[in-house]
Amino acid sequence: MITQNEIERFAQNKYQAFLRSVVEGCAFFPLHVRFGRPRHTESLEILSKEIQSLLGGSKDLTGHGYTVICESVPMRRYGQQTLPVDVFFASDTDYVAFIGKRAEVEQFRQNVETSRSLCPPLDKWLATHVTLIIANADRWLDLMRVCAWFASHPRPGCYAREIPVPVHTKFIEENQAVLRNLLEQVLPNDFDPEADDFFSRFYLRDKEPLIRVRILDCGLATQIGLPITDFSVPVSAFNSLPFSILKRVIITENELPLLTLPSFPGTVAVFGRGNAVKLVAMASWLQNCPAVFYWGDIDAAGFTILAQLRKHLPHVRSVLMDRATFDGNAWAKVQDPSPPASAALQDTLTEEEWLCWRGVVATATRLEQERITLMVAHQAIQEAFEA
């Protein structure tokens, strides 16, 4: 015989389906509970207790919840007995009260209507994301206000805090995950699928990353009228630096190698900061520079960054990212299981770089640029510059 606890589990398991029916307007009740019929050999005393327990939690006695239908059924051992033949929830009121979610369901209904009123493009999306609506119930009105504003102002080009919606100033920043899900539905043709961060994805302004630069030639700094040789600038300012007369540029993956580089005539060093290297590569003066070098870690990240850099600067050359460097600094390697060598990398790397990358994969080790002795590194860079 089914128990009240089993009916409770059944009802809870049907909750998402019930919420979808609310959104879709589909009939969901009566909701029948499947249960096994009592065995003919079962003790009549035990069977009677189980039936009374089941009836004790029914709507007839509690005023809400499940309904039990009993009928006279013949049993071989005990003759005619009154047994449950159907257990069901007759209405959403009975069901919701039974699982203790009256307030939650009422709020859910209001939020669905709010979505349809403020943001009609979400209509078909709602039924497949009921858990997201429940999880964000207390902020759903504000989320819809933001979505409605974006629907009327796609690609706004302003800071998130400048959007004139009656929410607190950090609301969009603090709710990026759910807003990303929503706005991709609201703005199917007005978001950038290639952008990883929220602000770029929906054409919002954000704080510009800073790019650190070292001029490795004091005479060059004087010549172009810069009073300093070590500085950081926003990306937009980096793009307009007066570096049209450079001989060469060296981009480093990490900051300390940048800071320890010695003087080189006509040379500027740039801290690429990993993924920021893509922003660095967009500078026109860098694209026009006759010699551009990249010095990164000998690992998956380093070679991936090099490959990304080459998409914008096909003439970039690597330094200290070859098999001789990798094999010659065995003492400095660390364990690092790397992903399999990919065809995408092979198409971008030179033969020497590809050979080095295969060594990384084969040995499951990596060589960080900061572990290479400075004297050795600087000598190798000098030779690369002069080659």
Residues 285 and 381 in one domain: yes
Residues 166 and 214 in one domain: no
pLDDT at 235: 85
Instruction: Compute mean pLDDT per 10 residues along the chain, 387 residues long, and list them.
Output: 92 98 96 79 80 92 94 82 92 96 98 97 96 98 98 96 95 97 97 92 91 95 94 90 93 94 97 75 89 94 90 93 95 82 78 92 92 95 95
Last residue of a domain, one of 70, 98, 126: 98
Residues 191 and 270 in one domain: no
**What is the 3 state secondary structure string of 33-84?**
CCCCCCCCCCCHHHHHHHHHHHHHCCHHHHCCCCEEEEEEEEECCCEEEEEE
Residues 335 and 350 in one domain: yes
Alpha-carbon span 108 to 16, nearest angstrom: 12
Last residue of a domain, one of 144, 166, 201: 201
Last residue of a domain, one of 37, 69, 98: 98
pLDDT at 36: 76
Q: How many C-beta atoms surround the C-beta of residue 16 within 10 A?
A: 12
Residues 75 and 34 in one domain: yes
Q: 51 Cβ partners below 8 Å, 6+ apart?
A: 1, 70, 82, 83, 84
pLDDT at 274: 65
Residues 9 and 23 in one domain: yes
Residues 224 and 333 in one domain: yes
Q: Say what the pTM is.
A: 0.69
For residue 264, give its domain range: 210-386
Q: Tell me, what CATH number does 376's domain have?
A: 3.40.1360.10
Burial class (CB in 10 A: 0-12, 13-18, 19+), 286: buried
C-alpha distances out from residue 113 to 62, 165, 188, 255, 293, Å: 32, 19, 22, 53, 58
Residues 31 and 166 in one domain: no
Residues 51 and 64 in one domain: yes
Residues 40 and 92 in one domain: yes
φ, ψ for residue 320, nearest 5 deg: 60, 35
Question: For the chain, what is the domain count?
Answer: 3
C-alpha distances out from residue 370 to 113, 257, 259, Å: 58, 6, 11
